[in-house]
A = this chain, B = another copy of it.
Amino acid sequence: MTKPVQTLKTIAQKLGVSTATISNAFSRPDQLSATLREKILAACAEVGYMGPNKAAQSLRKGSSGIIAVVLSDSLEYMVSDPVASQFLKGVATELERNKLNLLLFSGSAASLDSIADFVDGFICYGAPRNLALVEELKRARKRVLTVDFDLPERPSVNIDNEQAAYEVARRVLTPVSRATVLGLRLIDSDTSGPVGDTPMWDNESSIAHRRLDGYLRAAAEAGVSLSNQQIWHIPVSSQYFAEAAALSALQQQPRPDVLLCMSDLIALSAIRVALAQGLRIPQDVKIVGFDGIEEGVRYNPSLTSVWQFSDAKGRAAVQAFLADSDQKQWLPYEIRQGESC
């Protein structure tokens, strides 16, 4: 009952032609007569031969049509993040358009080894949590494109996080503002709380620090003091930690009246907490987010935020990956005013 496995060779024997001719029939139509090609294709269809084995093809040609998307964190973590989801949506759409396949790879995996030989290259969304991967990416022999961070000599797609953070903060800060930053992964700590004296982490590459730089520039310019006591660290992007941080931030004396949040998810948690505390938004406390997610638009009050167009970013990443250029590309963003400030 089980049909025998067909290969180029068995087909060639059956038809009395060489394997090269069968191969050409599938991959290089111009190398043989149309009639012969038709005949071969028909015969293959009949016996259920689906074309050259892709694994063998990949070994021979050195390319597979599979692109790895290396996430910054473990997969289980990323799928529930709306920003990452939008980005992946863009990537998936554009890869599909180019008949390429998508291999999702965890940024917390031990090594790229297990997939490096299968894929044609890597699109990296955020610096991988496991820094060993960064080293592997640096010396990878295949095309690497980074998003939201940079690698020497490699193309990248970014927004100007510092400038965007500056702009959104500049809008809301006045000389009398009491501002607090709710930041993501600023220091090496598993609990949320003010950064205080703990040395900052990973200063160069992380988008969190770029955004913080922007907030600080805006604060300085507005004449608002923003010490490390007013900069809160949240260890991972989860509702639990965000709400805990927002709660204790809002319990400071004097209570802050501006919350600069490093993501919309954090900002939404902050809104929930503020409302639960009986505070009015924006009269008692103004809240701004970062990223741009649909839920922020629907929320009551709606969120003021930096819109990143993550879907378009995903598409741009694929296009830049496919193009040959090694440019570092900057994408536009937009400040969207909501009711939260």
Contacts and interface: CB of A to CB of B under 8 A. Distances in A.
B80 A85 contact: yes
Contact of A101 (B51, B57, B103): B103
Contacts of A93: 74-76
B118 A64 contact: yes
Nearest to A106: B96
A130 to B, nearest CB: 12
B96 A89 contact: no
Interface string A98-142: 010111111001000111111000000000000000000001010
Contacts of A85: 79-80, 85
Interface string A54-76: 11111100001110000000111
A50 interface: yes
A226 to B, nearest CB: 32
A82 interface: yes
A101 B106 CA distance: 9
Interface in A140-175: 141
- Which of A5, A116, A117 gathers the greatest number of chain B CB atoms within 10 Å? A117
A48 B64 CA distance: 23
A92 interface: yes
A53 interface: yes
Contacts of A267: none
A115 B55 contact: no
Contacts of A109: 96
A54 B106 CA distance: 18
A239 to B, nearest CB: 9
A88 interface: yes
Given A74-B96, A101-B103, A109-B96, A54 B118 contact: yes
A118 B66 contact: yes
A216 B66 CA distance: 45
